[in-house]
Amino acid sequence: MCVLLLAAPAFAQPGEEAQPEPDAPEQAGPAVPEQTAEDGPDSGMPVYVKDRELFRLYTGGELVSLEERVRVVEDRLALISPPSFQARKLKSESDETHASLKYGSLVLVRFTQEDAARAGKERAALAEQTREILTEYFVSEQERLSQAPVRQ
């Protein structure tokens, strides 16, 4: 019984609001947070390729921080060589919990429901939009490199 009394919430006197205990854990929020001005498409952390922001991620993974997740995605994108890029190899895939973007067999990024909600899109639509952005980027890099003068 003593444990129940210690764990019981503080009760307010008539006319006062009950105050939570200072060390009480916060209540878990909804699985997908509501989008606000601060949590919109311009929040999150940008993913860069060669100093160009291509898209954003909004949450860390189960075992990694948001910063680490972004770094891993950037490292994977750096493995794609613009001169040998093939748009047909860049595909988006979806299942019940994630939408993925792959280049060949390499998973570049997995989008969570929270990523999608904070971007204001469905997971599959976010993956497809990102596929289009990456295709445009790599094709423009191919064109730029093909027009560069050859140094001797």
Residue 24 in this model has a pLDDT that exceeds 50 = no
Give the tens place of pLDDT for each residue, 58-74: 999 889 999 999 999 99
Which of the four pLDDT bands, split at 50, 70 and 90, describes residue 148? low
The pTM assigned to this predicted structure is 0.70
**pLDDT > 70 in the chain, percent:** 70
Q: Is 101 strand, coil or helix?
A: strand
Question: Shortest CA distance to 66 belongs to which of 15, 133, 112, 122?
Answer: 112
- Report the pLDDT value the prediction gives residue 115, as an integer from 0 to 100: 93
Which of 47-74 are b and which e, b meaning 16 or more Cβ less than 10 Å from the residue's Cβ? bebeeeebbbbbbeeeeeeeeebbeebb
